[in-house]
Amino acid sequence: MDRTSRPRAVGKQRHAKGLNAAARTAAGALVVVAFATVAGAEEDAARPDKAVMPPLQEEAAEAFLAVGRINRAGFKTLGGCSGTLVRPDIVLTAGHCAGPRRETTFVFVTGWRQGDYHAAVEIIGADRHPAYRIGASHDPRFDLGLLFLAEPLDDVTPLPMAEALPETVALVGYHSRTPHLMTGRLDCPLVQSDDRLAVFDCPVVSGNSGGPVLTLDDTGGWQVVGVVSSRLPLPDGASRAIAVRNLSWVQDRLRMHDRRE
């Protein structure tokens, strides 16, 4: 019995792969983007990355319940990204993760850990930054998307957003190398940034796309300051994360949503 679209069910799931795309440099963007590939892009099994972000211990992962997996076709079909609950019924992710549905069911799953999870809710709509084009050359500057849930997750606290970008951040999410555990690092150094993009010295692979870049606020709570978009391959086979840091479009869309509530 397939119970994947029901909230707060328990089930099994296979690992995720993402979309193929090329990256290009746009005027004013970081030069390194010219060598980037989508973080959720198809991976060459013969040339695996030398480093991936490790699994988080269960207690550490519980602090990131608002970060979940975006699964295609429930739990039984390969495909997915990471995303963050920013309203009880809205998930922030990468634009290339918010592509056309094409009769495929999408599900947002929180708390996934080796077959158990906290909640699973069907995604019923999507919105992408108007400057991001699915099927065109990948432009990470605008790689932002919002996903709308069939019902709110009232027992999961959404994460707020902020603009300040510190020298060290946390990157968390799910990737294809360890698909059944949340992975991440809380000590990712900032390498380079401009007004739209930032590069961090932490590796990302398939499935990390759409995951949040996080910092702590003054009260010790986590807040979102970016979204993982792409990976910058390095000569030694490792990679660095490229993230969208300009979230003004997202904030505008959320303000519109809040006014309608």
In whole angstroms, how far apart are CA 61 and each of 65, 135, 161, 169?
A: 7, 34, 19, 16
For residues 219 and 222, give the distance between their C-alpha atoms in angstroms, rounded to a whole number.
9
- 21/158 Cα distance (integer angstroms): 30
Tokens of 132: 């991001």
What top-level class would CATH report for the domain 168-244? mainly beta
- Asked if 183 contacts 172 with a C-beta cutoff of 8 angstroms, the reply is yes
Domain-by-domain residue ranges, the chain?
168-244
pLDDT (tens, 9 = 90+) of the chain, 261 residues, equals 222 223 333 222 322 322 223 333 332 344 444 445 666 444 434 344 457 899 999 999 999 999 999 987 655 444 579 999 999 999 999 999 987 655 567 899 999 888 889 999 999 999 999 999 877 678 999 999 999 999 999 999 999 999 999 999 999 999 878 878 999 999 999 999 999 999 999 999 888 999 999 999 999 999 999 999 999 999 888 899 999 999 999 999 999 999 987
Q: What is the pTM of this model?
A: 0.82
CA distances from 235 to 29, 50, 189 (A): 22, 11, 19
